[in-house]
C-alpha cells in the first residue's frame, strides 16, 4: 500500500475538509448518542451510544437480526434514526435532506458491501471512477486516479474487465478502490468478506489492515470473528438492538 | 419470493402470488392494456367506419332503394299499396301524401326554401325508411312540422333570425316541433297526415326495398317491375339510393383518408405498447423463472405461470378499456358523421375483436419470452439480464463514461442500450406519438386554412341581403352608397346570381356576378387571378374539371335572349361543378337594369363589429344584415384529430412510463449503489429522464418527417375527394417554430412518461436493496 491509497486514508475528505470532528482534533468522528431505530413495532436499535475516534478500526458483531447492519446504515446516512443523534464529522445526519445525505456519502464516507454492488455494464476502471465523476471530477482525471488505486490494490491489469468476469476477490478490490476514490474520512464495510472464499477473504482482510494502519478510520460489520480479531482495534458486540459489550482487541496475524 | 408449495394447483398459486407481489407492475400493465384496448377500439372503429358510413346509416334506417313519386290523378292509394307485394319488392312503406312547396322561415324573413312535404304518422311508419328523430317530437296535429336535417345541423335560413316557424304563399304557418333525418332523403319535411288535406297534396310517395338493387340498372328495372300494373302516366319519377349514396360519399370522402390514417396509427400504437409492456414484464421476471425451475416447476408450468400472471391485468384492462373506447369513440364518430348525414356505429365485431384480440395479444406476448426463459437452465435464467452481453451497447457506455457530460447524464444516455429490444419498442411508440401530433396539427391547420379561404373569414364581415321585391326603402344602389358612407366600412362588393345557359353545356349553370370591391373580399385563387376587368370569369376546379376547361378559354353565356363571352382568368378554391363567378359588366350586358341582390361588406380594422352591424341595419331594416358565421365544416375532422392525438400521446407516454418503471426496478441495486456513492436525488432524476429523453429526441427526428409525409400523402387524397386544387400557400402549414415544438413533442412525451417513476426512484429506500443480491 503506497502513498496513493494512503492519500485516501486518514484525515482528509475529498473536499479538503479535515476528518476530525468539529468538536476538536481528538474528538470522535462518529457519534451515536442514544440512538433508537424502529421498523414498525420492532426496535432494531434501542438506545445505542457509540463513539469512534479518528484512526480506529471498529468491528460490530452479533447474530443475525441483532441490528448491526442497521447501525452501519445509520452511520452511512442510508437511513435515519427514529430518535437520538448520529453525528459524523459533526454533521447531524438526521437533520440532512436527501440531497444533503447524498453529498455526505459522496465526500465523507466510502462503502464496501458484501455483494460488491458493482455496475455490470461498466468495466472495473469506470466503476471506480464513477464515484469521483458524480462529484464533478472530469473523466480523464477520475480515470487516472482510479487506475492508480487499482494499481495499488494489485488489479490494474483488470481495469477493462467487466465485473462478471472478475473473481470475487477482484470484485471486492474494485469495490474498495471505488470506496477510496473520494478520499473518505470514514470507510464502512458491511460483511466485506462474506461472499468470498477464504483466500480472497484473507486478501481483503490484509487490505483493510493496511488501510487502517495508514490512518483510515474503519467501521465494519461482520459475523466473522477472524475478520474482527485480525482487522479491528475495538470490538463492539450487539444483541437485540443494544450494545452488550465493547472491548479493545489485540490484532492477530 | 415466498415459498411456493409444488402441490396441486402450483401454477395458479404461483401466478396469484406474482400478481400480489408485483402490485405496481400489475396495475401498470392493466392500465396500459386498458388504454391500448381503448386505442384499439378507436382505431378499429375508425377503420371500419371509413369503409361504409353511408351503408351503416342506410342499414340502420332500412333505407329505401327507390323513392317513387306518383300522380294522384292517375293512381289511387289502394293501387299503390298493392305494389308492395310486387315481384322483387322485399319491403315497402306508403303510400304517403306529399307536395312540393316554397317556404320561408317566418313572414318576409329568411331564404325561400323549396321543400317536399310528406304526411307521415310516425318516423318509423312502415318497414322502409326508419326516420331518425333527433330533436323535438313528431308532428301530431295540424300546424306542426318536422324538418329533415342531418344531426346537429343549424336550421337553414338567415342566422340570427327567429327560425321556429315556416310560412309559404297560400299555406298556413307551421311551427317547427322537431328535426329528423332520412338518409334516403324521402322528404324535406313531415307533417301529420291529417294536415295533408288542407295542403292539397300533388303527388303520392312510395318507398321500396328490392331483393337486388346493386346497380342503377337494377334499381330502374325493379321500379319498373313494381309499377308494371299501374297506369302508364302514374309514375312521375323516382330517386335511386345510389344517387343519394354518391352525394353523401362526396361529402364524406374528405374525411375517410383522415380516419384511415388515424385508425392505422391507433392500432399500431396499441399493439406496440402491449408488446413493449408485457414482454418487458416477463423479461424482468427471468430471475423468478429461474427460481421456479430450481424448485421443480417444469418448463410448461413456468410458461403457464407467466401467461396466467399476465392474464389477470389483461382481462381486467380489456374489460375496462373496451367500454372506455366505445364511450369515447362513439360520440366522436357521431359528432364527426352526423353533421354530414352519415352514421358510423362502432360495430359489435370491433368489440368482439378487441375483447378477444387484446387478451390474446397479451397472452402471446407473454408466452414467447416465457417460453424462451423456460428453455434456459435455471442458473442461466436467474442471471439473464444481469450480466452484460456482447453487443449490448457496452462500447457506447464506455465511450459515454469518458465523455465530458455530467456523469448522471452520460449514464442516462447509455441506459437504453442495456435493453435494446425494450428501448426499440418504446422508441417506436414515441415515434408514432410524434407522427400523430405532427399529422394532426398539420391537418387542423391546413383544413382551417382551407375553411378560412373558402369562407373568406377575416375578409367578409357582413352579408347584406333582401328577400323579394321591395316596394319601399332603399334600392340596391342607394343601399350600396349608404353603406360605403357608413363609418367603419372598409369595402363593399355587390352580388347578383342567376342561372344561365352556357354554350356546349346541357344543363343550366349558376353564375354569381361580382362587382364593387370584390377584389378585397378575400378570394383565394389557385391559378391565374381574380376578376380584374370586363368579360372575365373565375371558376372552381370542380367546374373546370367536369367541363374539361382551362384558364384562358372562353365561355359563351346566354341569358334572357342575350349573350356574352367571358374569358376564364382564374381558378378558385371551392365551389361546385355547375357554377362560376363573372364580372359585373357581364351581368349588365345580360340583364341590363337589374340591380344587385346582395352585398358583402368588409369592416375596417379595429371597427366595433356589433356597433357597425347596428349602423348598417339602421340604414334600412328591410335589408337583412348578417355577421358572417360559417360554422365549422371541418368539425368532424377536428374532433377526430383532437381525440386521437390526446389518446395516442397518452398511450405512448404510458409506454415510456412502464419502460422506466421496469428499468428502475431491474436496476434498483445499481441505483442503490449510485446513491451510496453520492448520487443525489436530482442526479437520479436527471439520469432516468435523460435515458428516455434521448428516445424522445430520436422519436422527434424520425416522427417529424413521418408525420409530415403522412400529411402530404393524405391532403392530395382530400383534394381529389373534394375535387379541388389547394394553393401551395394553404399547404405550407408547418412554420419553423411549429416544427421545433413538434420536434420537442417527442421529448415531451418521453419526459412526461419518465418523470414520475424517476422521482420515485430518487426517493426509494436503498438500505435493503444494497444488502441483497
Ranking B474-483, B510-519, B646-655 by mean pLDDT, the lowest is: B646-655
Higher pLDDT: B560 or B413? It is B413
> What is the structure's pLDDT at B525?
87
- Name chain B contacts of A140, Cβ cutoff 8 Å: 402
Give yes or no for B768 touching A (CB within 8 A).
no
**Interchain proximity A117–B392, CB inside 8 Å:** no
- Tens of pLDDT, residue by residue over B181-223, are 898 989 989 999 998 888 888 899 999 999 988 887 888 889 9
* A74: closest chain B residue by CA: B767
Inter-residue contact A74 to A86 (CB < 8 Å): yes
Model pLDDT, residue A245: 93
- What pLDDT shows up at residue B493? 96
Predicted confidence at residue A252, as pLDDT, reads 64
Cα–Cα dist B659/B644, whole Å: 22
| Closest CA–CA distance from residue A67 to any residue of chain B (Å) | 13
A247, pLDDT greater than 50? yes
B771 and A121 within 8 Å at the Cβ level: the answer is: no
Q: Taking residues B17-21, report their average pLDDT.
A: 79
Instruction: Among B352-366, B437-451, B743-757, name the one with the lowest average pLDDT.
Output: B437-451
Which chain A residues are Cβ-neighbours of B407 within 8 angstroms?
A: 130, 133-134
B391 touches chain A (CB under 8 A): no
What is the pLDDT at residue B451?
67
Is residue B77 classed exposed, middle or buried when 0-12, 13-18 and 19+ CB atoms within 10 A define those classes?
Answer: middle
Helix axes B348-375, B299-338, angle to 10 degrees: 150
- Tell whether A248 lies on the interface with B, counting CB pairs under 8 A: no
Nearest CB among B397, B678, B767 relative to A121 is that of B397
A99–B677 C-beta distance less than 8 A: no
Sign of the dihedral defined by the CA atoms of residues B699, B700, B702, B708, in that order:
positive
Mean pLDDT of A66-94: 92
Inform me whether the C-beta atom of residue B2 falls under 8 Å from chain A C-beta atoms: no
Q: Which residue has the higher pLDDT, B183 or B389?
A: B183
Give the rounded distance of the alpha carbon of A165 from its chain centre. Answer: 25
Chain A interface includes B395 (CB < 8 A): no
Mean pLDDT across B365-371: 87
Interface A:B, Cβ pairs < 8 A: 102
Identify the pLDDT of residue B253.
65
Give the lowest-confidence range in A74-83, B30-39, B496-505, B584-593. B496-505
Question: What are B574's three cell numbers?
Answer: 371551392
Residues of chain B above pLDDT 70, percent: 88
Who has greater pLDDT, B63 or B17?
A: B63
Nearest CA in chain B to A103: B678
Residue B389 is predicted with a pLDDT of 53
Note whether B388 contacts A78, CB cutoff 8 Å. no
Stretch B42-55: mean pLDDT: 79
Find out whether B687 and B51 touch, Cβ atoms under 8 Å: no
The span from the CA of B313 to the CA of B18, in Å, is 12
Whether B680 sits inside 8 A of A162 (CB atoms) is: no
A101-125 confidence digits (pLDDT tens):
999 999 999 999 888 888 888 899 9
Encode pLDDT of B68-97 as tens digits.
Answer: 999 988 999 999 999 999 989 999 999 999
Using a CB–CB cutoff of 8 Å, tell me whether A16 touches chain B: no
Give the pLDDT band of residue B383 (cuts 50, 70, 90).
Answer: low
ipTM for the predicted complex: 0.82
Higher pLDDT, B415 or B628: B415
- Residue B764: helix, strand or coil by DSSP? coil
Q: Which residue reads 482534533 in cell numbers?
A: A25
**What pLDDT is attached to residue A13?**
41
- Read off the pLDDT band of B645 (50, 70, 90): confident
* Position A9 pLDDT exceeds 70: no
**CB proximity B485 to A under 8 Å:** no
Please give the DSSP secondary-structure letter assigned to residue B167: B
- Strand boundaries in chain A, DSSP class E: 28-39, 42-53, 57-61, 83-88, 91-92, 109-112, 186-190, 217-221, 234-239, 242-248
> Within chain A, what is the greatest distance between any pair of CA atoms?
50
Q: What is the pLDDT of residue B470?
A: 55
B348-353: Cβ within 8 A, 24+ apart: B349/B48, B350/B41, B350/B44, B350/B45, B350/B48, B351/B41, B351/B322, B351/B326, B353/B44
- What is the sign, positive or negative, of the torsion defined by CA atoms of B219, B220, B221, B226? positive
Chain B, window 411-430: residues with a beta carbon less than 8 angstroms from a chain A beta carbon: 414, 418
B397 and A133: CB-CB below 8 Å? no
Using alpha carbons, select from B162, B164, B159 the residue that is nearest to residue B629.
B159
Distance of CA A247 to the CA centre of its chain: 20
Q: What pLDDT score was predicted for residue B387?
A: 47
The answer, for A111 touching chain B at a CB cutoff of 8 Å, is yes
B48 or B114: whose pLDDT is higher? Answer: B48
* pLDDT score of A24 more than 60: no
Tell me: pLDDT of A16 over 50: no
- The answer for residues whose C-beta is within 8 angstroms of residue B236's C-beta and 6 or more apart is B69, B70, B71, B203
A139 shares contact with chain B (CB less than 8 Å): yes
pLDDT top residue among B373 and B484:
B484
A211 lies within 8 A of chain B by CB = no
Q: With 90 as the cut, is the pLDDT of residue A161 above it?
A: yes
Residue B597: all three cell numbers together: 341582390
| pLDDT score of B564 | 94
The shortest C-alpha distance from A25 to chain B (Å) reads 26
pLDDT given at position A20: 38
- Tell me the mean pLDDT in the region B13-38: 84
- Does pLDDT of B376 surpass 90? no
What pLDDT sits at residue B751?
87
Cβ atoms of residues B161 and B170 within 8 Å:
no
Q: Does A71 have pLDDT greater than 70?
A: yes
Grid coordinates representing A99 are: 440531497
Q: What is the mean pLDDT of chain B?
A: 83
pLDDT digits (tens, 9 = 90+) for A134-147: 888 999 999 999 99
Interface check A8 vs B, CB under 8 A: no
Grid coordinates given for A167: 473473481
CB contact under 8 A, B388 and A107: no
B387:A118 CB<8 A = no
Q: Is A103 on the interface with B (CB under 8 A)?
A: yes
Per residue in A177-193, pLDDT tens? 999 999 999 999 999 98
**Cell (9 digits) for A50:** 457509540
Across B391-403, average pLDDT: 83
A154–B contact, CB cutoff 8 A: no
User: What is the per-residue pLDDT across B667-678, written as a single tens digit (0 to 9) for each?
Assistant: 888 888 899 889
> Looking at the predicted structure, is the pLDDT value of residue B316 above 80?
yes
Cis bond leading into B95, ω under 30°? Answer: yes
Residue B654 has pLDDT above 90, yes or no: no
Q: Which chain B residue shows the shortest CA-CA distance from A126?
A: B401
Q: Rounded to a whole number, what is the distance in Å from the CA of B761 to chain A's nearest CA?
A: 13
pLDDT at B1 over 50: no
A167 has a chain B CB within 8 A of its CB:
no
Average pLDDT, stretch B621-636? 72
pLDDT value, residue B532: 95
pTM for this predicted structure: 0.72
Please give the distance of CA B732 from its chain centroid, rounded to a whole number: 21
| Neighboring chain A residues of B397 at a CB cutoff of 8 Å | 121-122
**The CATH number of the domain covering residues in A5-248:** 3.40.50.300
Chain A hits for B681, CB-CB cut-off 8 Å, are: 98-99, 102
Question: Greater confidence, B116 or B628?
Answer: B116
pLDDT at B599 over 70: yes
CB contact under 8 A, B677 and A131: yes
Per-residue pLDDT tens digits for B104-154: 654 444 455 678 899 999 998 778 999 988 888 999 988 999 988 877 655
Amino acid at each position: 500500500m503506497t502513498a496513493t491509497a494512503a492519500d485516501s486514508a486518514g484525515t482528509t475528505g475529498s473536499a479538503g475538509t479535515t476528518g476530525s470532528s468539529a468538536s476538536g482534533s481528538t474528538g470522535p468522528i462518529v457519534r451515536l448518542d442514544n440512538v433508537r431505530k424502529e421498523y414498525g413495532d420492532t426496535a432494531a436499535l434501542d438506545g445505542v451510544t457509540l463513539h469512534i475516534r479518528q484512526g480506529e478500526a471498529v468491528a460490530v458483531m452479533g447474530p443475525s437480526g441483532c441490528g448491526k447492519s442497521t447501525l452501519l446504515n445509520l452511520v452511512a446516512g442510508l437511513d435515519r434514526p427514529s430518535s437520538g443523534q448520529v453525528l459524523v464529522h459533526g454533521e447531524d445526519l438526521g437533520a440532512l435532506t436527501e440531497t444533503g445525505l447524498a453529498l455526505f456519502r459522496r465526500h465523507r464516507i466510502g462503502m464496501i458491501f458484501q455483494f460488491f454492488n458493482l455496475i455490470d455494464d461498466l468495466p472495473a476502471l469506470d466503476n471506480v471512477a464513477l464515484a469521483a465523476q458524480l462529484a464533478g471530477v472530469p473523466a480523464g482525471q477520475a480515470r487516472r486516479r482510479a487506475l492508480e488505486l487499482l494499481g495499488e490494490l494489485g488489479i490494474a491489469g483488470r481495469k477493462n474487465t467487466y465485473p462478471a468476469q472478475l473473481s470475487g476477490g477482484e470484485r471486492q478490490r474494485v469495490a474498495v478502490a471505488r470506496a477510496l476514490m473520494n478520499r473518505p474520512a470514514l470507510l464502512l464495510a458491511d460483511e466485506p468478506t462474506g461472499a468470498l472464499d477464504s483466500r480472497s477473504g484473507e486478501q481483503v482482510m490484509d487490505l483493510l489492515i493496511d488501510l487502517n494502519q495508514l490512518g483510515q478510520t474503519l467501521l465494519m460489520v461482520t459475523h466473522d470473528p477472524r475478520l474482527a480479531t485480525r482487522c479491528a482495534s475495538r470490538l463492539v458486540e450487539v444483541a437485540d438492538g443494544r450494545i452488550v459489550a465493547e472491548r479493545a482487541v489485540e490484532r492477530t496475524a | 419470493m415466498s415459498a411456493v408449495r409444488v402441490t396441486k394447483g402450483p401454477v395458479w398459486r404461483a401466478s396469484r402470488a406474482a400478481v400480489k407481489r408485483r402490485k405496481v407492475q400489475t396495475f401498470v400493465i392493466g392500465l396500459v392494456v386498458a388504454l391500448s384496448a381503448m386505442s384499439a377500439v378507436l382505431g378499429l372503429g375508425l377503420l371500419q367506419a371509413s369503409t361504409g358510413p353511408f351503408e351503416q346509416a342506410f342499414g340502420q334506417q332500412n333505407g329505401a332503394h327507390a323513392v317513387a313519386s306518383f300522380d294522384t290523378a292517375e293512381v289511387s292509394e289502394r293501387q299503390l299499396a298493392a305494389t308492395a307485394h310486387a315481384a322483387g319488392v322485399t319491403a315497402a312503406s306508403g303510400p304517403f301524401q306529399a307536395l312540393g312547396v316554397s317556404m320561408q322561415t317566418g313572414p318576409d324573413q329568411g331564404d325561400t326554401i323549396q321543400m317536399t312535404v310528406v304526411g307521415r304518422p310516425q318516423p318509423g311508419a312502415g318497414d322502409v325508411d326508419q326516420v331518425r328523430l333527433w330533436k323535438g317530437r313528431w308532428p301530431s296535429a295540424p300546424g306542426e312540422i318536422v324538418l329533415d336535417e342531418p344531426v346537429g345541423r343549424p336550421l337553414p335560413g338567415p342566422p340570427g333570425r327567429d327560425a321556429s316557424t315556416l310560412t309559404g304563399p297560400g299555406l298556413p304557418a307551421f311551427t317547427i316541433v322537431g328535426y329528423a333525418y332520412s338518409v334516403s332523403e324521402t322528404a324535406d319535411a313531415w307533417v301529420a297526415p291529417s294536415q295533408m288535406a288542407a295542403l292539397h297534396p300533388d303527388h303520392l310517395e312510395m318507398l321500396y326495398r328490392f331483393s337486388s338493387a346493386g346497380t342503377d340498372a337494377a334499381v330502374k328495372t325493379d321500379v319498373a317491375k313494381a309499377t308494371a300494373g299501374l297506369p302508364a302516366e302514374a309514375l312521375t319519377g323516382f330517386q335511386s339510393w345510389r344517387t343519394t349514396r354518391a352525394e353523401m360519399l362526396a361529402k364524406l370522402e374528405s374525411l375517410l383518408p383522415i380516419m384511415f390514417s388515424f385508425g392505422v396509427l391507433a392500432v399500431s400504437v396499441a399493439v406496440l405498447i402491449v408488446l413493449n409492456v408485457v414482454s418487458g414484464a416477463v423479461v424482468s421476471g427471468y430471475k423468478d423463472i429461474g427460481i421456479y425451475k430450481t424448485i421443480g416447476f417444469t418448463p410448461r408450468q413456468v410458461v403457464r405461470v407467466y401467461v396466467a400472471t399476465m392474464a389477470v391485468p389483461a382481462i381486467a384492462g380489456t374489460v375496462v378499456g373496451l367500454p372506455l373506447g366505445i364511450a369515447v369513440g362513439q360520440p366522436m364518430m357521431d359528432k364527426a358523421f352526423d353533421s354530414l348525414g352519415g352514421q358510423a356505429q362502432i360495430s359489435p365485431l370491433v368489440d368482439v375483436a378487441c375483447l378477444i384480440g387484446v387478451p390474446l395479444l397479451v397472452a402471446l406476448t407473454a408466452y414467447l419470452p416465457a417460453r424462451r426463459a423456460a428453455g434456459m437452465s435455471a442458473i442461466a435464467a436467474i442471471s439473464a439480464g444481469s450480466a452484460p452481453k456482447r453487443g449490448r451497447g457496452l462500447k457506447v457506455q464506455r465511450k459515454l463514461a469518458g465523455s465530458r457530460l455530467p456523469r448522471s447524464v452520460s449514464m442516462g444516455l447509455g441506459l437504453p442500450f442495456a435493453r435494446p429490444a425494450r428501448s426499440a419498442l418504446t422508441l417506436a411508440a414515441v415515434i408514432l406519438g410524434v407522427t400523430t401530433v405532427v399529422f394532426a396539427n398539420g391537418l387542423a391547420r391546413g383544413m382551417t386554412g382551407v375553411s378560412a379561404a373558402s369562407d373568406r373569414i377575416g375578409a367578409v364581415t357582413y352579408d347584406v341581403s333582401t328577400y323579394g321585391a321591395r316596394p319601399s326603402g332603399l334600392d340596391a344602389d342607394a343601399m350600396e352608397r349608404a353603406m360605403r358612407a357608413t363609418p367603419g366600412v372598409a369595402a363593399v362588393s355587390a352580388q347578383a346570381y342567376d342561372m344561365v345557359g352556357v354554350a356546349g353545356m346541357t344543363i343550366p349553370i349558376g353564375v354569381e356576378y361580382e362587382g364593387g370591391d370584390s377584389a378585397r373580399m378575400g378570394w383565394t385563387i389557385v391559378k391565374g387571378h381574380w376578376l380584374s376587368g370586363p368579360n372575365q370569369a373565375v371558376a372552381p376546379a370542380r367546374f373546370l374539371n367536369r367541363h374539361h376547361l382551362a384558364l384562358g378559354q372562353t365561355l359563351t353565356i346566354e341569358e334572357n335572349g342575350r349573350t356574352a363571352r367571358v374569358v376564364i382568368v382564374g381558378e378558385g378554391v371551392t365551389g361546385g361543378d355547375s357554377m362560376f363567378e363573372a364580372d359585373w359588366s357581364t351581368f349588365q350586358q345580360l340583364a341590363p337594369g337589374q340591380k344587385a341582390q346582395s352585398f358583402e361588406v368588409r369592416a375596417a380594422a379595429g371597427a366595433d363589429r356589433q356597433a357597425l352591424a347596428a349602423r348598417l341595419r339602421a340604414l334600412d331594416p328591410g335589408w337583412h344584415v348578417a355577421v358572417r358565421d360559417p360554422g365549422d365544416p371541418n368539425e368532424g375532422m377536428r374532433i377526430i384529430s383532437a381525440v386521437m392525438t390526446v389518446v395516442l400521446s397518452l398511450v405512448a407516454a404510458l409506454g415510456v412510463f412502464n419502460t422506466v418503471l421496469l428499468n428502475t426496478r431491474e436496476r434498483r441495486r445499481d441505483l442503490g449503489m449510485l446513491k451510496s456513492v453520492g448520487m443525489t436525488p436530482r442526479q437520479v432524476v436527471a439520469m432516468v429522464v435523460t435515458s428516455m429523453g434521448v428516445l424522445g429526441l430520436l422519436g422527434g427526428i424520425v416522427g417529424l418527417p413521418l408525420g409530415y409525409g403522412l400529411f402530404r400523402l393524405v391532403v392530395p387524397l382530400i383534394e381529389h375527394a373534394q375535387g379541388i386544387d389547394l394553393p401551395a400557400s394553404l399547404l405550407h402549414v408547418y412554420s419553423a417554430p411549429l416544427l421545433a415544438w413538434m420536434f420537442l413533442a417527442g421529448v415531451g412525451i418521453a419526459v412526461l412518461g419518465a418523470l414520475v417513476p424517476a422521482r420515485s426512484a430518487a426517493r426509494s429506500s436503498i438500505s435493503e436493496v444494497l444488502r441483497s443480491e
